[in-house]
Structure 1
Amino acid sequence: MLIDSTHFTPGLSLAGGLIIGLAAAVLVLFNGRIAGISGIFGGLLSLPRNDSGWRLAFVAGLVIAPIVAGLLGKPAIADIEANWGVILVAGFLVGLGARYASGCTSGHGVCGISRGSLRSLVATLTFMAAGLLTVVVHQHLIGG
């Protein structure tokens, strides 16, 4: 196994995980809400929107944080080797999966498992298995 030392950042990854965990804990302890991105964003689209303030702040933080990180150091730029059609179909499928799973990887994987939810454990294992299967199919059968 070859590890690309340029992209191997265990310290930054640990720090990011701790910050995500802390943010999720603060949201549930002080606001009684789960930090699932699909639920937070979906709540902005549903009516009535009586709690849109914290939802907008959360989504704005997701957009602004990488910009600030880029200003403070080397920007993280994703290199996606796909056309817009593939990206749109993939985004639709992710959204559909999150809808069927009653949440996304952040809601189930970060928040649900930490609360001891069996449904979240099953959902997260399913997400991970589907991702693994997708990589195997792409790398070995399609020739990625």
Structure 2
Amino acid sequence: MESFTPLSAALGGSLIGLAAAVLWLGNGRIAGISGIFGQLLPPAQTVVWRLVFLVALVATTFAAAKLFPGLGVGGDVAARLVKAPAALGLPTPVWLAIAGLLTGIGTKVGNGCTSGHGVCGLARLSLRSLVAVVVFFGVAIITVAVTGVV
């Protein structure tokens, strides 16, 4: 957190909001990544736009990382994974797999992920999205307080 830069945060947030607006205005769809990804298997009738959106998401992230290597990770500090807590005795890949599975289950049960609820749902004044955001931010705050990892 010591490398907070309001300019890159504001620019990134603006681009995410713009992307959500473009998808909604141009395609009538909410930019919830878990919903977009989740409808690929089994293939929905709308698989083409979902693939194009996801490929563009990954490709532009890769391009931005190559063009601006220090942007968003703290200047000259290279992005790296945090190691799993040693007290649990789990290797980092297992820890990440568990985290990924819990995230996937949570997005299915909660009918959306952080992008769907946090960006699009709150903008639509959805009560369900407000509850989801309050809960996942609360859990994130507790996790940081307990682990001390930011």
What TM-score bracket applies, with the shorter chain setting the length?
A: 0.7 to 0.9
**Alpha carbon RMSD of aligned pairs, Å?**
1.8
Which residue in 2 is equivalent to 1:113? Answer: 122
* Residue number among 27, 34, 37 corresponding to 2:30 in the alignment: 34
Q: Structure 1 stretches (4+) deviating beyond 2 angstroms?
A: 75-80
**TM score, norm. by length of structure 2:** 0.83
Which residue in 1 is equivalent to 2:102? Answer: 93
Which residue in 2 is equivalent to 1:132? Answer: 141
For 1:92-134, what per-residue CA distance to the aligned partner results, in whole angstroms no more than 9, with x for missing partners?
A: 0011111111100100000000001011001110110111111
Q: CA deviation at 1:79?
A: 2.8
SS at match of 1:78: coil
SS at match of 1:81: coil
> 1:11-90, aligned counterparts within 5 Å?
11-47=7-43, 49-74=44-69, 77-82=79-84, 83-90=92-99
For 1:5-48, what per-residue CA distance to the aligned partner results, in whole angstroms no more than 9, with x for missing partners?
A: xx22211110110111011011111211110010000011124x
**TM score, norm. by length of structure 1:** 0.86
Determine the C-alpha separation between the residues in 2 that align with 1:46 and 1:89: 23
SS at match of 1:79: coil
**Mean Cα displacement is larger for which, 54-63 or 15-24?**
54-63
Q: CA deviation at 1:73?
A: 2.3
- Which structure has more RCO (C-alpha within 8 Å, separation ≥ 6)? 2
Q: CA deviation at 1:66?
A: 2.4
Determine the C-alpha separation between the residues in 1 that align with 2:49 and 2:99: 28
Determine the C-alpha separation between the residues in 1 that align with 2:24 and 2:101: 28
Structure 1, unpaired ranges of 5+: none
Q: Percent identity?
A: 47
Determine the C-alpha separation between the residues in 2 that align with 1:78 and 1:42: 27
Aligned residue pair count? 136
**AA in 1 matched with 2:97:** L
Q: CA deviation at 1:138?
A: 1.7
